[in-house]
């Protein structure tokens, strides 16, 4: 009994610092943000204003615009990027292990550069003059220069393009690990039955990789719902709110207009969306796979 | 027939991989090449794929106009400290959650885990008020470090990893009257080395590249991290593409070198805790 108590004491000691930090720097802020969303913030005496922040928020057309942009960005990037990731992993899987490592490294490399540097490089590549890198590439095929970031019709697409052509390395590595875990005997059995390549893919490979796909889908959606750095660095939400995402709107509301209460209300809408969408994905996609 | 099909698949695979590999690398290549071209001097913003004249001018302009050395030092200090604290506290707590039994273990762990779904935007404002107004830590190393000493994500990762280690050694040590911290320090830590190295590397890269919190908590040029300083430089001097590319190269080169030096850890480390989690 005494021994047991001593074990427990140590265990609590081991988690003490992380738990204290969690209480102060995560849990308290969450609760505080929730209260703040019903207040007009002031350092000394915040004023309770009921649902006014939420009313203001739902009356603001930019708020809806930002939700739409975020939705569009997520729907147009996450599935496409998962498809690209899957294809690349599938191609790499065909190679010998030495070349697998080589291509994994190449595909992963840009992920070690920060969001700030990547955004700066793309900002320069999207240069709207005919000498800009992408425009001169298009010019090579006789196409007119495009004002990528400075016109409403292409600004959000430019940010999407950046993710398509960015690093898919982490996802590729996860897919490859999962592909390596599929028993060879399944394919051999399929060969005996003269199964087509497509049948093997749709009946064996794809279903068995579902857990990885689900993982990439859920994390991908959560990340893209919070897209911020590329917007901040490249477009500042413009032109004409064409790239104002919900995360950027929250930043603006909080740290440019100092409307802390309103920003908190916006952030809880974002939370609610993320939680609901994550649950839906689990429900739709999750299947127990045994092999 | 079968082998012909296989060769075709291999051919398509290699072609696609080479093409996509080039596409993936081009931005980084262009960043580095761009920083050796003095586009500012001849007033055209044009950066070519191969410089006609190699120039170090963009680098010297970047370092002359900014406090870049100080920013690099700040980033190094902050990332190093946060790497050590994250590895230490995450492995300690991860071990407790994975291997020790104590009342409330699962409840505490689930509360931690559930908050991971809450986006950073929610906690940012109260955190800002707390650190800036209550603790008075604006523009200080302490302010940069304090909220990130150990992340829930890292604790989760270490819990997953620690639970794969054999329990028998722990029991043996306990019979030998080793103290619980002694067990952790002398037995668990050496066994967990590969996992800890991966966590250390990813923590360092993450904090070196971190942007949002350092942006909010720093105010003076002297306290900026390299990422925040570089972003500020872009907004102050948008026309000097060469110097901006030089700055981007300076900010990312340490991580690129780290990647090549520790490639194995980067490429294998991703799978820790992620698959079948």
- Residue-wise pLDDT tens for chain A (291 aa)? 666 666 688 888 889 999 999 999 999 999 999 999 998 887 777 888 888 889 888 988 899 999 999 999 999 999 999 999 999 999 999 888 889 999 999 999 999 999 999 999 999 888 888 778 888 888 888 888 888 898 888 899 999 999 999 889 889 999 998 898 888 888 888 888 888 888 888 888 888 898 889 889 988 998 999 999 999 999 998 798 999 999 999 999 999 988 899 999 999 999 999 889 888 887 877 655 444
Q: What pLDDT sits at residue A287?
A: 58
What is the sign, positive or negative, of the torsion defined by CA atoms of A274, A275, A278, A284? negative
Average pLDDT (B211-216) is 94
Burial class, A126, CB count within 10 angstroms (exposed 0-12 / middle 13-18 / buried 19+): buried
State how far the Cα of A273 lies from the Cα of A67, in Å rounded to an integer. 10
Q: Which of residues 78-97 of B touch A (CB under 8 A)?
A: 89-90, 92-93, 95-97
Report whether B275 contacts A211 (CB < 8 A): yes
Average pLDDT (B54-74) is 90
Q: Which two tokens stand for residue B23?
A: 């596409």
Chain A environment of B159 (Cβ under 8 Å): none
Average pLDDT (B239-263) is 91
Closest chain B residue to A194 measured between Cα atoms? B2
What is the sign, positive or negative, of the torsion defined by CA atoms of B214, B219, B224, B227? positive
Q: Which two tokens stand for residue B106?
A: 């699962």
Q: Which of residues 136-155 of A touch B (CB under 8 A)?
A: none
- Residue B236 banded pLDDT, cuts 50, 70, 90: confident
State how far the Cα of B277 lies from the Cα of B267, in Å rounded to an integer. 18
Residue by residue, DSSP assigns A194-245 as T--HHHHIIIIIHHHTHHHHHHHHHHHHHHHHT--HHHHHHTTT-STTTT--
Ordered domains of chain B (ranges, CATH): 2-59 (no CATH), 67-236 (1.10.3720.10)
State how far the Cα of A158 lies from the Cα of A143, in Å rounded to an integer. 17
- Residue B220 banded pLDDT, cuts 50, 70, 90: very high
Q: What pLDDT sits at residue A3?
A: 64
For residue B18, the SS3 value is helix
Q: For residue B108, what are the contacts with CB-CB under 8 A and spacing of at least 6?
A: A15, A19
Question: From the list B24, B45, B274, which residue is nearest A127 (CB)?
Answer: B45
Q: Which of residues 96-115 of B touch A (CB under 8 A)?
A: 96-97, 100-103, 105, 108, 111-112, 115
For residue A94, the SS3 value is coil
Burial class, A113, CB count within 10 angstroms (exposed 0-12 / middle 13-18 / buried 19+): buried
Question: From the list A19, A24, A101, which residue is nearest B108 (CB)?
Answer: A19
Q: What pLDDT sits at residue B181?
A: 83
Q: What pLDDT sits at residue A139?
A: 85
Q: What pLDDT sits at residue A137?
A: 85
Q: Give ∠ CA B109-B113-B115 in degrees, rounded to 5.
A: 125
Q: For residue B111, what are the contacts with CB-CB under 8 A and spacing of at least 6?
A: A27
Q: What pLDDT sits at residue B275?
A: 42
Q: For residue A110, what are the contacts with CB-CB under 8 A and spacing of at least 6?
A: A118, A166, A167, A169, B24, B25, B27, B28
Q: At what angle do helices B241-261 and B68-99 cross, to 10 degrees?
A: 40
Chain B environment of A27 (Cβ under 8 Å): 111, 115
What is the sign, positive or negative, of the torsion defined by CA atoms of B239, B243, B246, B250? negative
Q: Across the strands, what pairs with B69?
A: none
Q: Which two tokens stand for residue A86?
A: 């899957």
Are B45 and A24 in contact (CB < 8 Å)? no
Are A112 and B266 in contact (CB < 8 Å)? yes
- Residue B204 banded pLDDT, cuts 50, 70, 90: very high
Ordered domains of chain A (ranges, CATH): 60-285 (1.10.3720.10)
Please report, for residues B119, B130, B139, B144, B250, the alpha-carbon distance to residue B218 in angstroms, rounded to integers and kept in the order given: 22, 14, 4, 8, 20
Q: Across the strands, what pairs with A124?
A: none
Q: Which two tokens stand for residue B213?
A: 């919190």
Phi, psi of B225 (to 5 degrees): -85, 170
Q: Return the closest-CA partner of residue A132 out of A117, A120, A147, A142.
A: A147
Residues of chain B with pLDDT > 90, as a percent, come to 49
Q: Which two tokens stand for residue A126?
A: 């999207």
State how far the Cα of A208 lies from the Cα of B132, in Å rounded to an integer. 49
Q: Which of residues 3-32 of A touch B (CB under 8 A)?
A: 6-8, 10-12, 14-15, 17-19, 21-22, 24-30, 32
State how far the Cα of A230 lies from the Cα of A115, in Å rounded to an integer. 7
Q: For residue A203, what are the contacts with CB-CB under 8 A and spacing of at least 6?
A: A190, A195
State how far the Cα of B92 lies from the Cα of B184, in Å rounded to an integer. 8
State how far the Cα of A173 lies from the Cα of B181, in Å rounded to an integer. 35
**Mutation to test the B interface, candidates A1, A3, A15, most B Cβ within 10 Å:** A15
Are A271 and B118 in contact (CB < 8 Å)? yes
Q: Return the closest-CA partner of residue B195 out of B98, B82, B81, B273.
A: B273
Q: Return the closest-CA partner of residue B243 out of B38, B69, B54.
A: B38
Question: From the list A26, A88, A233, which residue is nearest B123 (CB)?
Answer: A26
State how far the Cα of B105 lies from the Cα of A111, in Å rounded to an integer. 35
Q: What pLDDT sits at residue A290?
A: 43
Question: From the list B46, B122, B259, which residue is nearest A131 (CB)?
Answer: B46
């Amino acid at each position: 009994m005494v021994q047991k108590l001593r074990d427990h004491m140590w265990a609590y000691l081991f988690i003490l610092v992380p738990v204290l930090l969690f209480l102060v720097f995560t849990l308290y802020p969450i609760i505080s943000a929730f209260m703040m969303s019903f207040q007009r913030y002031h350092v000394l005496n915040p004023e309770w204003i009921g649902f006014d922040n939420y009313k203001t928020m739902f009356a603001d057309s930019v708020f809806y615009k930002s939700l739409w942009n975020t939705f569009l960005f997520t729907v147009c990037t996450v599935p496409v990027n998962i498809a690209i990731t899957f294809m690349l992993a599938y191609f790499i899987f065909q190679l010998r292990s030495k070349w697998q490592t080589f291509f994994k490294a190449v595909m992963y490399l840009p992920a070690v550069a920060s969001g700030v540097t990547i955004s700066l490089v793309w900002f320069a590549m999207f240069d709207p003059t005919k000498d800009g890198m992408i425009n001169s590439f298009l010019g090579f095929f006789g196409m007119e220069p495009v004002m990528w970031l400075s016109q409403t019709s292409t600004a959000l697409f430019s940010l999407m393009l950046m993710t398509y052509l960015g690093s898919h390395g982490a996802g590729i590595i996860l897919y490859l690990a999962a592909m390596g875990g599929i028993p060879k005997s399944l394919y051999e059995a399929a060969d005996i039955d003269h199964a087509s390549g497509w049948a093997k893919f749709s009946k064996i490979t794809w279903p068995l990789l579902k857990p990885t796909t689900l993982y990439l889908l859920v994390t991908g959606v959560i990340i893209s719902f919070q897209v911020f750095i590329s917007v901040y660095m490249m477009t500042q939400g413009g032109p004409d709110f064409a790239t104002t995402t919900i995360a950027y709107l929250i930043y603006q509301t909080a740290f440019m207009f100092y409307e802390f209460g309103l920003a908190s209300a916006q952030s809880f809408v974002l939370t609610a969306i993320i939680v609901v969408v994550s649950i839906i994905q689990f429900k739709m996609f999750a299947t127990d796979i045994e092999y | 027939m079968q082998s012909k099909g296989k060769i075709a698949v291999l051919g398509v695979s290699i072609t696609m991989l080479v093409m996509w590999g080039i596409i993936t690398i081009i931005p980084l290549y262009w960043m580095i090449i761009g920083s050796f071209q003095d586009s500012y001097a001849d007033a055209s913003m044009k950066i070519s794929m191969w410089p006609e004249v190699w120039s170090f001018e963009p680098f010297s302009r970047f370092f002359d106009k900014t406090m870049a050395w100080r920013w690099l030092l700040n980033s190094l200090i902050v990332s190093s400290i946060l790497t050590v604290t994250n590895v230490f506290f995450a492995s300690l707590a991860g071990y407790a959650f994975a291997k020790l039994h104590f009342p409330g273990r699962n409840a505490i762990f689930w509360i931690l885990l559930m908050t991971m779904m809450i986006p950073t935007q929610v906690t940012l404002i109260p955190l800002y008020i707390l650190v800036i107004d209550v603790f008075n830590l604006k523009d200080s190393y302490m302010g940069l470090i304090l909220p990130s000493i150990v992340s829930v994500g890292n604790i989760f990762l270490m819990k997953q990893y620690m639970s794969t280690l054999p329990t028998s050694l722990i029991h043996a040590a306990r019979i030998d009257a080793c103290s619980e911290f002694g067990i952790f320090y002398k037995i668990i830590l050496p066994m967990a080395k590969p996992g800890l190295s991966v966590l250390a590397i990813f923590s360092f890269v993450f904090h070196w590249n971190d942007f949002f919190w350092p942006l909010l908590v720093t105010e003076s040029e002297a306290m900026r991290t390299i990422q925040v300083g570089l972003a500020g430089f872009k907004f102050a001097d948008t026309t000097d593409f060469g110097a901006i590319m030089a700055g981007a190269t300076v900010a990312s080169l340490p991580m690129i070198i780290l990647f090549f030096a520790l490639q194995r850890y980067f490429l294998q480390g991703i799978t820790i805790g992620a698959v079948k989690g």
